[in-house]
Amino acid sequence: MIDPAQPGVLLTLFSFAVVIGLVVFVHEFGHYLAGRIFGVKADVFSIGFGRELLGWTDRRGTRWKVSVLPLGGYVKFAGDMSPASQADPAWLSLPAEERKRTFQAKALWQKAIIVFAGPAINFIFAIVIFAGFFQAYGIPETPTRIEQVIEGTAAARAGLKPGDTILSIDGQNTRVFEDIARVVAIHPGERVIVRLRRDGRLYDQPIRLDSFEEVDRFGNRNRIGRLGISPGAQIITDKPLPQTIVAATVRTGQLVSVMITAIEQVVTGRRPVEELGGPIKIAQFAGQTATLGWQPLVQFMAFISINLGFINLLPVPMLDGGHLLFYAIEAVRRRPIKPKAQQWAFMSGLAVLVSLMVFVTINDLGSLGLWEKLAKLAG
């Protein structure tokens, strides 16, 4: 049943600001911290874009500020004066000691680490959150042995039986039942190969998964895959901190794998582009998750942090991955790409990102029913 108690606008906006603000801060702090380690001066550390709402300048000369548009953030290093990381002409006229503290004065490998540190700390942040929950509440693990096969489902049609143990799906190992649910969910209606153990023997069973539309308590609809099996009892295990960190790292890697699969499905047309969401959808989910308690909201924050880290590593100009791509090319060529070529690339990257932002915003508004309401008014 759909819970009609949707979060209010104020709770939604507050939850969105907390989630995005903290995740963006973590990302930019990764850049800032790596820059500090290599002796680069940061001129500005901003959460958000546009006009400054509040801020202060620390004793190192860094302006820390919160700006009016909370859709990202940036660290502006000394000597890094353009989106393509090209130095301002005035850089050459700086005193030698001051020029040493600029981004452009650093070695290529140091600049690459400074850029990579942003996405990296997003993943680390998620690992810390998952490890904290696992340490506090234990690690939920359910054996992959099938307890029940539901009649009329994909599993029943394929001949799966109680007592079978699922070892992998499409080459992805399924150590616990939660792995099965994760892999199956992102392959609705698709044919997969299930490796299972039955009576001590191994079998590779092709199965066409069912497609099921899931509706959560807030009315959000999502098409997921379904196999049609039930597991045995879940086991909660307490493990030492090192093993907890490993489990949290594995969990983070699994979510990255899900993102890669989802993008590949959208690109190949197996998943509708309407499922792509943007800031409005994130705000909606943040508000809805906040109504469930602080624990789900913190876990949602970990998921958004992984998203931010992953997206920023894509080799698109204007993103961290685009910078890293240019650094890799420079390392191979032993000379940087011409500034004009970089400027064109970053202008193209900006156009792609703006177009994507407009597209996902249209999707978000559509998911809220805006276009249907306007069509009814027009009719």
Do 222 and 213 contact (CB within 8 A), yes or no? Answer: yes
Assigned token pair, 163: 């007592």
Pair 104, 87: CB distance under 8 Å: yes
Contacts 24+ apart (CB under 8 A), 190-195: 190/225, 190/270, 193/169, 194/158, 194/160, 194/166, 194/168, 194/169, 195/166, 195/167, 195/168, 195/169
With vertex at residue 330, the alpha carbon angle to CA 329 and CA 333, rounded to the nearest 5 degrees, is 85
Question: From the CB of residue 99, how many other CB atoms can be counted at a distance below 10 Å?
Answer: 16
186/181 Cα distance (integer angstroms): 9
Q: Is 178 among the residues known to form the active site?
A: no
Report long-range pairs for 177-182 (Cβ below 8 Å, ≥24 apart): 177/142, 177/143, 177/144, 177/231, 177/234, 178/140, 178/141, 178/142, 179/144, 179/254, 180/144, 180/227, 180/229, 182/254, 182/258
Which of 51, 85, 79, 84 lies closest to 65 in space, CA to CA? 51
- Contact between 236 and 139 under an 8 Å Cβ cutoff? The reply is yes
- The catalytic residue among 28, 97, 147, 178 is 28
Query: HSE-up of 266 (CA within 13 Å, CB side)?
Result: 10
Measured CA distances, 160 to 111, 190, 234 (Å) = 53, 17, 21
Please list, in sequence order, all residues whose beta carbon lies within 8 angstroms of the beta carbon of residue 376, skipping any fewer than 6 positions away. Answer: none
> Beta strands of the chain (E only): which ranges?
42-57, 63-77, 139-141, 146-149, 165-169, 172-173, 191-198, 201-208, 210-215, 221-226, 229-231, 235-237
- Two structure tokens written together for 290: 């906040």
Instruction: Just list the catalytic residues.
Output: 28
